[in-house]
Amino acid sequence: MNNNLLLEKQLCFRLYSLNKLMCRLYAPVLKDLALTYPQYLVMMVLWQYKAGISVKDLGAKLDLDSGTLSPLLKRMEKQTLIKRERDTKDERVVLIKLTQKGIELQQSAEHIPAKMFAVTGLSPEKLQALNLTLDQLIDNLGD
């Protein structure tokens, strides 16, 4: 009997498990900022693009489509973290911009990366090596 179908052998299951573990580890930290994990990812993009970014470009960065982003962004708008404005140059485009509250939240998030790095228990070198391997894999999987 072929045993290649064992759960423990699958790379995909490791990635599935790790993603869930990460979400759970971030959850209590992000709760202080009243953010969910995907909302935190959105905020990281917006902190980088303070002039604003279209839903489309945001989706390209996060690899998420409008079916996910539209309701997610509406919830964030309701929390007054972001504003949504039609682009006057192209009315199809919705530009996402941080509110003052959204901008200020960055300070409260500055400590998170170091904190989460510590949780991984990896040395800086191991982390970098892992990141490189994962980037290569993302590339191979034809992102």
Torsion from C-alpha of 60, 64, 70, 76, nearest 10 degrees: -90
DSSP state of 122: -
Number of chain residues interacting with a copy of itself (CB under 8 A): 55
55 forms part of the interface with DNA (CB under 7 A): yes
Q: Binders of DNA among 64-103, rule CB under 7 A?
A: 64-75, 84, 87, 90-95
16 forms part of the interface with a copy of itself (CB under 8 A): yes
Can you spell out the DSSP letters for 63-113? T--HHHHHHHHHHHHHTTSEEEEE-SS-TT-EEEEE-HHHHHHHHHHTTHH
The entry of DNA, a copy of itself, none that residue 140 binds, CB within 5 to 8 Å by partner kind = a copy of itself
Per CB under 8 A, the list member of 92, 114, 123, 124 interacting with a copy of itself is: 114
Task: Spell out the long-range contacts of 24-28 with Cβ–Cβ below 8 A and sequence spacing 24 or more.
Answer: 25/116, 25/119, 26/112, 26/116
49 forms part of the interface with DNA (CB under 7 A): no
Q: How far is the CB of 91 from a copy of itself (least distance, A)?
A: 28
Closer CB to a copy of itself, residue 3 or residue 100?
3
Closest CA to 25 of 110, 122, 111, 115: 115
Which residues contribute to the site for a copy of itself (CB under 8 A)? 2, 4-7, 9-22, 25-26, 37, 41, 44-45, 47-48, 61-63, 106, 109-110, 112-114, 116-117, 119-122, 126-127, 130-131, 133-135, 137-138, 140-143
